[in-house]
Structure 1
Amino acid sequence: MSDTSNDQEKLLNNPRIQELLRPTVALQRGAQIELAPGFHWDEVRAIPEERLRAALSFPAPVGPLDAFRGTFAGRGFNLIFRPNGTATPTHLPAPANGPSDNILELNLTEETLSFTQGTLGNIPNRGFGNQADLFLNGVPYVQAVNDVTQGTPVGIHFEPGVWLQVPASTIPPVGVTVVRMASIPHGTTVNLQGSSTSTAGPPNIPPVDPTPFFTANGAPFRFPSQTAGDPHTFRIPQDLGPFIASGQMTQALLDDPNSFLRNAIAHQNIVHTITIEVASAPEVPPVLSIPSQGGGNANIAFLTANANIPAHQAGAPPKMFAGAKSTFWIETVEHKITIPVFREGQPPLVVPTAPNPQLGIPAQSFLIHPPFPIPKPITITVHSTQIQYSQVVLLNFGPLSWPHVSVATLHSTTPIVPPSSIWKDVH
């Protein structure tokens, strides 16, 4: 266990500290998940005194997923073209121009993404022939998303699932991968598989184009609803004037939802980034443009009966949910915080960072307990973990594929306990 984890465990297990932290938890309209401390997945052995292979007295590694602990919360943006059938058409406040078979829904969102504090353990996947058994490990999670576009929260997404790390295999010849398995109440389950990379500095977040398209080469079909300044289109909200004035929804955001993510970190000092990129099979150009190593999705009958296959997606049965790709950036953010005067015997301090002007949520905070008195304010350097993600789901209806894009920036809802080493050079 790391120095930081030890320090955090000692402080957070103190009932006095738990009471201190209670009012600092942000965004209570979300969800949380907990794994019983005594639960540990492992193989069942035929001979209790022996193991089938080398001793596994510790959990299998989770690699980059180790950062997925506790509850994160924040703000985001969601863009989805949804069918507008003749049986139950969507009623809009003003007359609309353009094709009426779809509605572009735009959502300003707040969400929680909650992970268990512990991992599952050693999940045996049995090999056959020359393929040895593999031991997977993972972190269960639950995600809840609210639309807050008009101020009143409305739930628009709930997702329980598991992140896994899969060791390298010889059959098939694939290196270490990560997997996201999710269940979505619309009637879809997804399995996304991919890899991770680690780099110094901030992430490189590319643009994403949400324009629907016809063919394998991505010939786009742009709708009037994608013009932010037009108040008479098949869109929710129909009039974006107030949102354009406040900077919450702009033409740049509609053209590239990932601009929300880049704006959120524009003034942050990100010193390290882990990038996790996973996708379902098959690979679908142009937006699901990473090689798929496995995975897929399954849908209820309603989602297959009310869909068709565009020309570039051969095969049966038809799928409304054609595929998905998601990229998670796990960022280490460096902060400078000021510690006020601290006297011996004082309770620990909760010190917030400056709030993010883009997100409009409570700032990340730190639980500070100096090991000695501080006679005058000092500035120290601390680090936090931040999660950003961008997800593209391809929906099929009519003659088109419709990119459904969701993005968010999230930080820990619990004050972070810095490692004790931060006091080493403080005088």
Structure 2
Amino acid sequence: MNDMQSFPLTTKAPNTLRRAVPSQVATADRLGALRDLPGFWEGSGFSLIARPDYSGRSKNGVFLQLNLLHETIEFTTIGSPVFNRGSVQEDIAIYGVTYLHRVTDGIYGGALHIEPGMWLNIPATTAPKANASIARLGTIPHGNAFCTVGFVQHAVFDKVPDIPPANTVPFDIDGQPPAPGSKNPYPEYDLSIASEFRTSPVPAVITQAMIDDPNQMLRDTLNQQVMEEGLTLKRITRLITSTAGGIANIPFITTNANTLDLDSVFAIETVVDALGNEFLQLQYSQTGLLNFGGKSFPHVTVGTLIKAF
């Protein structure tokens, strides 16, 4: 006999059992800045990662892997509230979406990445005293699990927005990333220098500018849309998060290429085409740090996806 059946018909069931999904409008409102995510997104991107090279032949102990990407992300609404019970403040209700991010090589089609996870919309709290926030939780089959926490930024645009550079220059573990424009001392990152410790052949679309700053791909996409296709960027909602308390890794990763930091910006863009039709576009840039050989090596991934369904 289930819990609902254990109550007489004349007795009202406790509120804690009322987990039925509310109306679509109410759910969208409770998702806040996440409301436009549910659906199927598809697009392309670029990934740069300096991974350890155990062969002993690499002077710097790294291999620079460069990939053009084909990506899909499917977001599904968590319709019912998720209650976090309070001990020093009242309970809070969290709403969110689950997602599955699949990435394959944009040229050869091979599998590169799969990531199930969730985005959460978290209300303001008094204990701890904090404003409303968002969180992204994800798991990676390499043996990583992360939780990033952050905030939402809204903007209205009639032009291409400024996108700050993404650093790809390695730096000392626990040190500060170098200033934008700093020269990269690793020859693997310089396309003018032949290297057997870099993806070969480098896809023609990948330029030195993209290796120096992968966010250049996002700017190029927007500039092409505006200048050549006559599109207008109307509105942007940015989901900005970073790791809270680090990343949980299996022992192999901790020992060989410890990964403790992840920062990302996911920008939900409302775009208008030349005929006045609106569509949704998702641009993201994220940087994870792989720590080995005394250095932090930025693993930068960027992408542009269109909401197809």
Tell me the secondary structure at the aligned position of residue 235 of structure 2. Answer: strand
Shift of the 203–119 alpha-carbon distance from structure 1 to 2, 3 Å rule, reads: farther
Shift of the 83–332 alpha-carbon distance from structure 1 to 2, 3 Å rule, reads: same
**Could you tell me how far apart the structure 2 residues matched to 1:298 and 1:212 are?**
22
Tell me the secondary structure at the aligned position of residue 86 of structure 2. Answer: coil
Tell me the secondary structure at the aligned position of residue 119 of structure 1. Answer: strand
**Could you tell me how far apart the structure 1 residues matched to 2:167 and 2:176 are?**
14
Report the Cα offset of residue 62 of structure 1: 1.1
- From 366, 382, 390, the equivalent of 2:285 is 390
1:75 maps to what in 2? 44
User: Is residue 112–residue 144 contact of structure 1 (8 Å, CA) maintained in 2?
Assistant: yes
1:336 aligns with 2:274: yes
1:220-231 matches, within 5 Å, as 222-231=185-194
1:272 maps to what in 2? 235
User: Is residue 203–residue 273 contact of structure 1 (8 Å, CA) maintained in 2?
Assistant: no
1:23 maps to what in 2? none
Aligned length: 281
1:302 maps to what in 2? 252
1:115 aligns with 2:75: yes
1:327 aligns with 2:265: yes
C-alpha offsets along residues 288-312 of structure 1, whole Å, 9 cap, x if unaligned? xxxxxxx5321111111224xxxxx
- From 293, 303, 309, the equivalent of 1:408 is 303
Report the Cα offset of residue 101 of structure 1: 0.9
Letter in structure 2 aligned against 1:80: I
TM-score, scaled to structure 2:
0.85
Q: Considering fraction of residues, name the structure with more strand.
A: 2
**Could you tell me how far apart the structure 1 residues matched to 2:124 and 2:278 are?**
32
User: Is residue 169–residue 177 contact of structure 2 (8 Å, CA) maintained in 1?
Assistant: no
User: Is residue 210–residue 405 contact of structure 1 (8 Å, CA) maintained in 2?
Assistant: yes
Tell me the secondary structure at the aligned position of residue 107 of structure 1. Answer: strand
**Could you tell me how far apart the structure 2 residues matched to 1:102 and 1:48 are?**
65
1:133-172 matches, within 5 Å, as 133-148=91-106, 151-172=107-128
Tell me the secondary structure at the aligned position of residue 261 of structure 1. Answer: helix
Report the Cα offset of residue 48 of structure 1: 4.5
- From 180, 196, 202, the equivalent of 2:136 is 180
Letter in structure 2 aligned against 1:263: D
- From 83, 99, 102, the equivalent of 1:124 is 83
Where structure 2 has 5 or more consecutive residues not aligned to the other structure, the ranges are 1-6
1:260 aligns with 2:217: yes
Q: Percent identity?
A: 34
**Could you tell me how far apart the structure 2 residues matched to 1:100 and 1:253 are?**
21
**Could you tell me how far apart the structure 2 residues matched to 1:401 and 1:327 are?**
20
Please identify the structure whose Cα radius of gyration is greater. 1
1:189 aligns with 2:145: yes
C-alpha offsets along residues 143-202 of structure 1, whole Å, 9 cap, x if unaligned? 000112xx3211110000111001111111111111110010000001011000111015
TM-score, scaled to structure 1:
0.62
Where structure 1 has 5 or more consecutive residues not aligned to the other structure, the ranges are 1-44, 90-95, 282-294, 308-319, 338-380, 415-427
Report the Cα offset of residue 233 of structure 1: 4.4
User: Is residue 190–residue 297 contact of structure 1 (8 Å, CA) maintained in 2?
Assistant: yes
